[in-house]
């Protein structure tokens, strides 16, 4: 930024990043806020907003599997919920307890364990968690 009150604007060349000083014939002001643009330095941003958005999306998609490693898949959660309702009934209190049981299994059961240990192990864990939620 230039601190002098001269009628100058400094612009950075987007191609070679050379600073260019331009003398103006009159004071240039913003149309909306009336602030003088004299003495300001204008340069092109390094990354555009779209570039940063795409980069953030790519990083998010890339690390998501590592962040949700202890969570069962949606399919596994659905199977647990369906099995719980089939065993204990379809009343509102049973559904609430089944929801509690499935939620509490999130840290214990992941998709890999569900495939490895099978449905009998899942039913035992579900039964334990359901009984804890009934309390």
Distances (CA, A) of 36 to 2, 41, 111, 118: 13, 12, 61, 71
pLDDT > 90 in the chain, percent: 9
- Residue-wise pLDDT for 23-74, tens only, equals 776 677 777 887 777 666 666 666 777 888 888 888 887 777 676 666 777 8
pTM: 0.47
Q: Is the pLDDT of residue 3 over 50?
A: no
In the chain the beta strands, taken as DSSP E runs, fall at 8-12, 19-23, 41-42
pLDDT > 70 in the chain, percent: 81
How far is Cα 126 from Cα 1, in angstroms, rounded to an integer? 65
Domain boundaries, the chain: 1-45, 74-134
How far is Cα 78 from Cα 127, in angstroms, rounded to an integer? 16
51 burial type by CB count under 10 A (0-12 exposed, 13-18 middle, 19+ buried): exposed
């Amino acid at each position: 930024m230039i601190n002098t009150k001269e009628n100058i604007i400094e612009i950075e060349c987007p191609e070679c990043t050379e600073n260019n000083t331009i003398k103006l014939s009159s004071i240039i002001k913003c149309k909306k806020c009336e602030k003088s643009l004299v003495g300001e330095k204008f340069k092109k941003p390094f990354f555009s907003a779209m570039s940063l958005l795409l980069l953030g999306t790519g990083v998010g998609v890339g690390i998501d599997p590592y962040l949700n490693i202890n969570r069962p898949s949606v399919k596994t959660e659905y199977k647990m919920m369906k099995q719980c309702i089939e065993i204990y009934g379809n009343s509102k209190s049973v559904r609430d307890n089944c929801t509690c049981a499935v939620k509490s299994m999130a840290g214990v059961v992941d998709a890999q364990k569900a495939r490895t240990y099978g449905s009998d192990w899942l039913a035992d864990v579900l039964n334990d968690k359901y009984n804890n939620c009934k309390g």
